[in-house]
Amino acid sequence: MGFLLPWKRADVAIDFGTANLRVIRLHDGVVFDEPSVCCFTHGGPTATLVAAGSEAQPMLDRTPAHLRIRQPLRRGVLQDLDTAREMLRYALARLPDGRRARATRGLFGVPADATAAERSALLTAAHDAGFRSAQLVAEPFAAAIGADLPVHEPVGTMIVECGAGTTEVAVLSLGGIVLTRSVRRGGAALDRAIADHLHFRHKFLVGDATAETLKRAYVEARLDPDTPRDATLQIKGRSLGSGMPTAIAIALAELDQVVERHVAQIIDVVRNVLLATPPELSYDIHDRGIVLTGGSALTPLLQSMIAGATGLSVILAPNPAHCVANGLHRMLERRAGEGLAD
């Protein structure tokens, strides 16, 4: 289903992703967008929040023994209740008007295949952060609305929502999700795959933040039509051979191989959904194609490999990284227009 009914008017919407937390308000749109990461003291009887969001991001892989970096979500779902609570408190405290959480009703995006325990954990984190109430909506449904797809019409729409922690494939029609499958792999898994490749192929160690930086440089180079075919990227890290800091050059073609293995797992999920899709909806998808949303939708080779494997047109949504946030914003607007009461 698109919604976990019943749900009422909300004050804010929360796109709580593995990579970023975004807060959306009715009349302002996105008012908070920072990394989903916190830094706590470590080693004492209690952990104290030191920094969160953009302030904590530069601390990744750089903390001394008395500090620890923690992330609330892993592979798209909440794994650390305490960190999620602190991240939500941090975000609400930085809203433009300093809104108090106790007066806030929140609409939260969650993976469509989140278990009952995972959904309950998010609701608990919201309550502990001080939300007056919290309601959940499936992220693929919100992404489809944010991508201007006709989800309320009697036609089949297929999207691939590519997040940092999970990739969800969904078929939607008549205001709900007809079919959904997911793989708990996204942009963060690609970062790890790049780091592992450097480790095993080149005996070269890099941290998660450096692997993500390399991925971003690779994406930018592959999206630039003027990039030479034999282009390379320089990466800094530690050589396992010498044990010393150094830099090496990695060919874009070599990173293509890492990306191909990553995308192949997503294609398996897309095929499984297409095989299970009812015939009339398959007819619609054949005509309309597949739409890519999410921050990892720009991954090179993703669009072309899905098109080649399915024989269908594959379309990149405008501003794919903000489709879920835009969809949640439109849901806030719709409920406000309907004038629903508590």
Residue 7 lies in a domain: no
Domain co-membership, 332 together with 297: no
Mean pLDDT of 259-282: 97
pLDDT tens figures, 106-115: 999 999 988 9
Task: Record the tokens describing residue 325, joined without a space.
Answer: 């946030």
pLDDT more than 90, % of the chain: 81
Strand partners, 109: 137
Domain co-membership, 210 together with 287: yes
Domain co-membership, 166 together with 292: yes
Mean pLDDT of 249-277: 97
Q: Specify the amino acid at residue 287.
A: D
DSSP designation for 66? T
Domain co-membership, 194 together with 226: yes
Domain that holds residue 103: 12-36+71-143+323-338
pLDDT at 2: 45
Query: How high is the mean pLDDT of the chain?
Result: 91
Read off the pLDDT band of 46 (50, 70, 90): confident
The helix (H) or strand (E) run that includes residue 243 is: none
pLDDT at 337: 72
pLDDT at 296: 95
Number of domains in the chain: 2
Residue 304 lies in a domain: yes
Domain co-membership, 303 together with 164: yes
Residue 52 lies in a domain: no
* Residue 242, pLDDT above cutoff 90: yes
pLDDT at 293: 98
Mean pLDDT of 278-287: 96
Domain co-membership, 198 together with 327: no
pLDDT tens figures, 123-171: 999 999 989 899 999 999 999 999 999 999 999 999 999 999 999 999 9
Torsion of CA 58, 64, 68, 74, to 10 degrees: 50
Domain co-membership, 327 together with 313: no
Q: Is the peptide bond before 6 cis (omega within 30 degrees of 0)?
A: yes
Mean pLDDT of 74-83: 86
What is the secondary structure of 80-128 as a DSSP string? -HHHHHHHHHHHHHTSTT---GGG-EEEEEE-TT--HHHHHHHHHHHHH
Query: Nearest CA to 71 among 235, 191, 201?
Result: 191
pLDDT tens figures, 58-77: 998 899 999 999 999 987 77
Residue 58 lies in a domain: no
Task: Record the tokens describing residue 76, joined without a space.
Answer: 């798209």
Asked whether the whole model's pTM tops 0.95, one would answer no
Contact between 183 and 167 under an 8 Å Cβ cutoff? The reply is yes
Residue 43 lies in a domain: no
* Residue 98, pLDDT above cutoff 70: no
* Residue 282, pLDDT above cutoff 90: yes
Domain co-membership, 109 together with 197: no
Read off the pLDDT band of 3 (50, 70, 90): very low
Domain co-membership, 97 together with 120: yes
pLDDT at 103: 62
The CATH number of whichever domain residue 248 belongs to comes to: 3.30.420.40
Domain co-membership, 207 together with 272: yes
